[in-house]
């Protein structure tokens, strides 16, 4: 899930059929089981990874087993999405499809698939969308917090304000940090208090712990919150391989230059370790984008 990138094409296979084709809208992010997956609602306590995809249901749904002779030669030796006979693999949830295999699938499905992929690229529909799952999850957590009668009203207010980097949490972060580590901006009105271990993953003590935060400008806060950048314990800036280099440069980050932002406290290092392990988009095994087959003359 964490190697999927915006603009990648997804083939949806279910009940022996490729029923839909989609385009990835955003990089993966932490989220509970979506509400749509079950009548009991989201499994808020079971957190995984979510990728938002814009799907188009196919009018002519395709059965790979009917085209095994065309598909089998393009299957990889490892992590194949289908068996050579065209039947599915129960153990596979998501795997990379090569350019050649994607081209074969698009040709078999027909014009709807080709037009969808081409139209998506022309219209740039794969621009990243808001992380809807995060909004739902955090809204659920805030409601639980507000309904918890064991927490005093003043503490509830502080915890809710901490989600937005305000109140008691910001005050405590400001006792440790004086400026944005990346840009050097030190005017408080231009800085946000950003959690290293995300608010959604933290307990109530961690949500208000000043060592669980950095003061960052809004653009750097966005990059840090969504895992496009992180920091080593020694202060080295880490840049995700999926981050858009041009956008980073416009935000003041040269992805080709090594950069150290200074030392961190022992407490900060612990929280940053969590960020590197659970938030930072560190994988380098990026899937290939689909290349459309040539149209017949």
The Cα diameter of the chain in Å comes to: 72
DSSP code at position 26: S
Residue 138 in domain: no
Same domain, residue pair 152 and 273? yes
What is the structure's pLDDT at 239? 94
**What residues make up the domain containing 76?**
9-123
Are 106 and 293 in contact by the 8 Å Cβ rule? The answer is yes
pLDDT band at 45; cut points 50, 70, 90: low
pLDDT band at 285; cut points 50, 70, 90: very low
The b-or-e profile of 193-223 (16+ CB within 10 A means b, else e) is bbbbbbbbebeeebbbbbbbbbbbbebbbeb
Q: Which helix (H) or strand (E) holds 11?
A: strand 9-14
pTM: 0.63
What distances in angstroms separate CA 90 from CA 16, 219, 262, one per listed residue? 11, 42, 48
Digit-coded pLDDT (tens) for 167-219: 999 999 999 999 999 999 999 999 999 999 999 889 999 999 999 999 999 99
Residue 290 in domain: no
Same domain, residue pair 38 and 94? yes
Same domain, residue pair 158 and 270? yes
Q: Structure tokens of 213?
A: 């935060």
Digit-coded pLDDT (tens) for 224-242: 998 999 999 999 999 998 8
Residue 33 makes CB contacts below 8 A (sequence gap 6+) with 42, 43, 46, 48
Same domain, residue pair 114 and 213? no
Residue 29 in domain: yes
Count of structural domains, the chain: 2
Residue 45 in domain: yes
Same domain, residue pair 103 and 158? no
């Amino acid at each position: 899930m964490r190697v999927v990138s915006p603009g990648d094409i997804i083939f949806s296979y279910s009940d022996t059929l490729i029923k839909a084709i989609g385009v990835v809208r955003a990089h993966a992010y932490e989220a509970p089981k979506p509400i749509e997956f079950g009548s009991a609602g989201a499994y808020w306590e079971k957190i995984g990874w979510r990728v938002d995809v814009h799907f188009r249901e196919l009018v002519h749904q395709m059965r790979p087993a009917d085209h095994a002779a065309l598909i089998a030669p393009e299957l990889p030796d490892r992590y194949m999405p289908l068996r050579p006979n065209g039947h599915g693999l129960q153990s596979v949830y998501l795997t990379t499809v090569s350019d050649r295999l994607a081209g074969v699938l698009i040709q078999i499905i027909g014009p709807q698939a080709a037009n969808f992929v081409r139209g998506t690229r022309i219209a740039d529909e794969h621009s990243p969308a808001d992380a809807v799952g995060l909004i739902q999850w955090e809204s659920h957590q805030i409601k639980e917090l507000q309904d918890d009668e064991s927490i005093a009203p003043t503490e509830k207010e502080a915890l809710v304000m901490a989600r937005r980097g305000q109140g008691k949490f910001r005050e405590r972060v400001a006792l440790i940090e004086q400026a944005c580590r990346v840009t050097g901006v030190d005017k408080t009105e231009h800085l946000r208090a950003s959690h290293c271990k995300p608010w959604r993953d933290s307990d109530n003590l961690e949500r208000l712990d000043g060592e669980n935060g950095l003061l960052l400008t809004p653009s750097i806060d966005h990059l840090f919150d969504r895992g496009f950048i992180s920091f080593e314990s020694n202060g080295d800036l880490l840049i995700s391989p999926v981050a858009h280099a041009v956008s980073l440069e416009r935000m003041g980050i040269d992805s080709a230059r090594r950069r150290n932002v200074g030392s961190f406290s022992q407490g900060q290092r612990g929280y940053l370790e969590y960020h590197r392990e659970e938030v930072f988009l560190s994988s380098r095994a990026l899937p290939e984008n689909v290349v459309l087959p040539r149209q017949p003359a």
